[in-house]
Chain A
Amino acid sequence: MAADLAELTQMIEAALPGAEVEVIDETGTGDHLRATVSAPQFEGLSRIDQHRLVKAAVKERFDDGTIHALSVKTSVPS
């Protein structure tokens, strides 16, 4: 099953209300997804904790094998 970028975006937005989220498929193969997330919830967190929040939001899609790899880039909105 191909990864649904809009669904992944929504899952991250639902987990982090107010976040700006962009999920792209870098190679068009569904293998190299990249999520760019800017969320107020990241304030004060280490990068690894910021990434944990993003990965947790889409955990279901890792668990069911829809996605295998997700690069994450996080920031705190300025």
Chain B
Amino acid sequence: MADPELKSKIEELIAANPVLLFMKGTPDMPRCGFSMRVVQVLDRVDVDYGAIDVLPALQPLREVTAEISDWQTFPQLYVYGELLGGCDIIEEMFESGELAEALGVEQPADTKVKVAETAPPAQSPPLQIE
């Protein structure tokens, strides 16, 4: 059972941020390959988004998202209050143009996700999503 205080805080954040990403690490320094891939997609569609690093409170946040949206793995992208998906779904929706539509932005002409030119710690081996 999720911590009620944390849960209401998370619900407020989801309501307050039209596009909100729960991820392992930060957009500048993702700590998981799957989170990094979602960050890259969001960069490609060029949308402003909020990001929450789940690592400091992984288990409590799993319990919260299990209750809020029946989903326990991260990353999770919320758009206008609804869970849109994790890495698989976001990449698929990006390629099909559904993501741009859901976000209300224009689909970039080139949907190939660019690999970062510099070599940030992001390219260390992805951590396993449990």
Contact = CB atoms under 8 A, between A and B. Distances in A.
Interface of A: 31, 47-48, 51-52, 68-69, 71-73
B83 A51 contact: no
Interface stretch (B42-50, B52-60, B85-93): B85-93
B114 to A, nearest CB: 22
B84 A48 contact: yes
14 contacts: A47-B89, A47-B92, A47-B93, A48-B69, A48-B83, A48-B85, A51-B86, A51-B89, A68-B128, A68-B130, A69-B128, A69-B130, A72-B88, A73-B92
Contact of B89 (A48, A68, A69): A48
Interface of B: 69-71, 73, 83-86, 88-89, 92-93, 128-130
Nearest to A47: B89
Given A47-B93, A52-B70, A73 B88 contact: yes
Nearest to A68: B130
Contacts of A51: 85-86, 88-89
B128 A47 contact: no
B13 to A, nearest CB: 19
Contacts of B70: 52
Given A48-B71, A52-B70, A68 B85 contact: no
Given A47-B85, A51-B88, A52-B70, A69 B129 contact: yes
A43 B114 CA distance: 32
